[in-house]
Amino acid sequence: MLILIFTGILTLEEALKLAELVEELAHWHWGALAIGGPRLLSREQMDEVMTAFATYGQQPGDPEPGDPHEQGVEAAVALADRLRAARENPRGEMPFLEHLDELRSRIIWSLLAIGVFSIIGFVLVMKYRVLELLIDPVRTAFEDPNLQLIALAPGDTFWVTLKLGLVVGVVLASPVVVYQIWSFLSPALERHEKRAIIPAMYLGVLLFSAGVAMAYFIALPVTLVFFQGFQVDYIEHQLEVNRTLAFITKLLLGFGVIFELPVVIMALSAMGLVTPKFLRAKRRHAIVLITVLASFLTPGDVITLTLMMMVPLILLYEFSIGLSVLIYRRRVRKEEERLRPSKEPPSGSVEAG
């Protein structure tokens, strides 16, 4: 039997153990190739190396001795190089320049998706009268079903439609953008982190939609009614189209983003950056921050509207603590299982006779 051992990888003791292993598994006339030994190859990987030789190697009983089997050697050496690289770099980490190239590719695909969906969004805004959908709460608040917004320049009507198309395009392209971000970051995440973040993406879509719906049906009408009746004895409202629609879209998107709080907490908990204990300890600080944030997002009646916004945000914070508890317990349980001594004997051990 011929055993080829790459210099510097095997000690003498490992070489003897590997020779015994090869002698048990290999039955070729001229032998098999052993690369890396117990430190590099598992039993399954060893079988894979030997299969590469079996494809080209001479079998017992062949009448001719055959050639040196260069193809078999090349196949096994290539396999050994791949296995060695996997051992030295088990997570598949890329060099810095390759990271930059990967990032550039992801950014390009994200921008292309936004561009394509923005065109689709422009068509949707024109076809499904999205502009009228946004103006309806203004007409209801001002009790004027025929209310028209004012354009101060000839091109305002076109540009405001284009901006709305861009906003719709960004929303429609968000799954593609999130996928590109995920594809870039996922190789650096552990398996338990991936399992926690993937459900968070689906939860994020649901929470964003809930935030936008709450803003459109509850917060926006109340806010518009407050502003419509403020200082009306001295000031006449002339609603300009760009500023009015910018106010409405910022309010809708702001609520959608704020409702992503559980997703953020869930991702941070999965990566071990926050714990339930930390979140509970900072609950009072969070309530103060939520109060300030609610007053900025929903300018209007200091008591009614601020409380209307505070309640769902506080509930979302408590929901985030619950999610963090589930993730933290799972991480602790897996860590305990990893540190628990195994009852099975180590691989390669021999029972005493």
Look at the pTM and tell me if it is higher than 0.75. no
CA 54/CA 28 separation, integer angstroms? 8
User: How large a percentage of the chain has pLDDT more than 90?
Assistant: 21
CA 252/CA 282 separation, integer angstroms? 28
Burial 295-316 (b: 16+ CB within 10 A, else e): eebbebeeeebbebbbebbbeb
CA 17/CA 40 separation, integer angstroms? 13
Statement: residue 61 has pLDDT above 60 = no
Statement: residue 170 has pLDDT above 60 = yes
Which residues are registered as beta bridge partners of 176? none
The whole-number average pLDDT for the span 98-105 is 84
pLDDT, tens digit (0-9, with 9 covering 90-100), for 291-334: 887 777 665 555 666 777 788 889 999 999 998 898 888 877 87
CB-count exposure of residue 180 (10 Å: 0-12, 13-18, 19+): buried
User: How large a percentage of the chain has pLDDT more than 70?
Assistant: 63
Of residues 328 and 166, which shows the higher confidence score?
A: 166
For the chain, give every domain's residue range.
Answer: 12-88, 96-188, 190-235+244-340
Statement: residue 100 has pLDDT above 80 = yes
> Residue 241: what pLDDT?
92
pLDDT tier, 160 (very low <50, low <70, confident <90, very high otherwise): very high
pLDDT, tens digit (0-9, with 9 covering 90-100), for 241-300: 999 999 899 889 888 888 888 888 888 887 778 888 999 998 999 888 888 877 776 655
In degrees and rounded to multiples of 5, residue 240 shows phi and psi of -85, 140
Sign (positive or negative) of CA dihedral 13, 15, 21, 24 = negative
pLDDT tier, 352 (very low <50, low <70, confident <90, very high otherwise): low
Statement: residue 17 has pLDDT above 60 = no
Of residues 322 and 74, which shows the higher confidence score?
A: 322
Statement: residue 69 has pLDDT above 70 = no
In degrees and rounded to multiples of 5, residue 150 shows phi and psi of -100, 135
For residues 245 and 236, the answer to whether their CB atoms sit within 8 Å is: no
DSSP letter string over 227-279?
Answer: HHTSSTTT-----BHHHHHHHHHHHHHHHHHHTTHHHHHHHHHHTTS--HHHH
Residue 340 in 3-state DSSP? coil
> Residue 344: what pLDDT?
61
pLDDT, tens digit (0-9, with 9 covering 90-100), for 185-201: 777 666 766 666 777 77
> Residue 224: what pLDDT?
87
